[in-house]
Amino acid sequence: MTDARLRHGRASLTLSFFVQGVTFALLVTRIPAIQDRYGISDGLLPVFLAAVPILAGVGSVVTEKVVARVRPRVVLRWAQPVVMLALLGAGAGNALWEAALALGVFGVSVGALDASMNMMGVSLQRAYGRSIMLGFHAAYSLGGIAGASLAWAGAHWDLSLLVCYLPAVVVLLPVAFIGSRWYAEGSSAEAEPGETQGKGAAASVSFKLLMPLCLVMSFAYIGDSTVSNWSAKYLQDVLGSSEQMSTVPYNVYMVTTLLGRAVGDFGVRRFGAVAVVRSGSVLAAAGFAVIAVAGGAWTGMLGFTMLGLGLCVIVPQTFAAAGRMFPGASDTAIARLNVFNYVGFLVGSPLVGALGDAWSYRGAMLVPMVLVLATLVYAKSFGAESARYGGGHERPRTADVG
């Protein structure tokens, strides 16, 4: 593979991560508006919200089977437009069945998209011979900030969902589709479908070896969903902030996530993935501890800042570790690992809510703190030296690929 093709592949995949960040943020930040548009009751809303990650898990499992026949870049090229059209459908319908259909399609296709994007990211990182996964996820965080900002503007000006979603889809869908022409994968993944990642790949992925990474993935997303679903309520109801200020923690969390991921690859190259994951876990756990004991809103904001900087490195490095653990079957390993992304989402929010109601929200924050801290037990699964791709912190390469 030429150096130019690698650079173009990296740029086009970065664009796809950014577009997905925008798309996902536009959906999740306008859930109340979707509920109002379709008249979804408070009792039925959790069913809709749970269905999306469940179907996304199904999409990830199906992708594992599909990439035995076609390359992940083909899956991604067609899954991303489907995700965006499903978002548009969620904003355009009127009947309850239309909402169910749109969200169902969104769930299945986003599972395929997440799995294939990370398969390609791991493959490109292997070809580069140095850590670049955090950069892809930084683009996702940037897209999330952009999408949340667009959603805020739509809510502020009382725009309909269709009017809010349509410009983003009209602009980003063709850009992403055209950019997909330059998708590329690492040399070890360039074999014909089924050759290195075919039927034998599933058998070669030991669930026992993969399980520590699956647990880490779930723990990280339990922490993430706690922030996204409970930060505003916690700041306002527990720490006594104003309603306006209660919207700030999630934005702070997203910005610090972006910043942490933007520099995280340099940390992995310099210190290795194990050190970076351990440091992130400790910082995130400390963030939850600060939130739990905070006496006021500003102290709580400090805790959410620490959370963003700590949690942001764990998920990208978990995908990368799976790729290193099963180099001949990384697509299969990543598809299976990706399912636990959605397990974390499904467990996190109800868990904190139930504990908050039964005990206290301060006490509930200690549970994700302990789970994130448990990542330290599994840190060796991230590979001490191979995470840096050889001695001297980077593997020697025949040519610089950017």
- At 225, the amino acid letter reads S
For 87, phi then psi, to 5°, come to: -60, -45
Give dist(CA 45, CA 165) in Å, integer.
21
pLDDT at 399: 35
Backbone φ/ψ region at 399: left (φ over 0), alpha (ψ -120 to 50), beta: beta
Cα–Cα separations (whole angstroms), residue 325 to 91, 131, 396:
41, 15, 21
For residue 278, give the 3-state DSSP assignment: helix
- pLDDT given for residue 393 in this prediction: 36
CA angle centred on 7, ends 4 and 8, rounded to 5°? 85
Q: Tell me which amino acid residue 159 is.
A: L
Please give the span between the terminal C-alpha atoms of the chain, in angstroms, as a whole number.
14
Tokens of 386: 């191979």
- Give the whole-angstrom CA distance, residue 83 versus residue 59: 12
Residue 101 neighbours by CB distance under 10 Å: 15
Kindly state the tokens that stand for 170.
Answer: 């009209």
pLDDT (tens digit per residue) in 275-327: 999 999 999 999 999 999 999 999 999 999 999 999 999 999 999 999 999 98
Q: Answer for the pair 234, 353: CB distance below 8 angstroms, yes or no.
A: no
**Nearest CA among 339, 263, 396 for reference residue 111:** 339
Q: Do residues 230 and 352 make contact, with C-beta atoms less than 8 angstroms apart?
A: yes
pTM of the model: 0.89
Q: What is the largest CA-CA distance in the chain?
A: 60
Domains present along the chain, CATH in parentheses: 1-183 (1.20.1250.20), 204-389 (1.20.1250.20)
pLDDT < 70 regions, the chain: 1-2, 187-203, 244, 384-402
Residues 73 and 186: beta-carbon distance below 8 Å: no
Burial classification of residue 224, based on how many CB atoms lie within 10 Å of its CB (0-12 exposed, 13-18 middle, 19 or more buried): buried
Tokens of 338: 């990706």
Count Cβ atoms within 10 A of the Cβ of residue 339 and give its class: 0-12 exposed, 13-18 middle, 19 or more buried.
buried
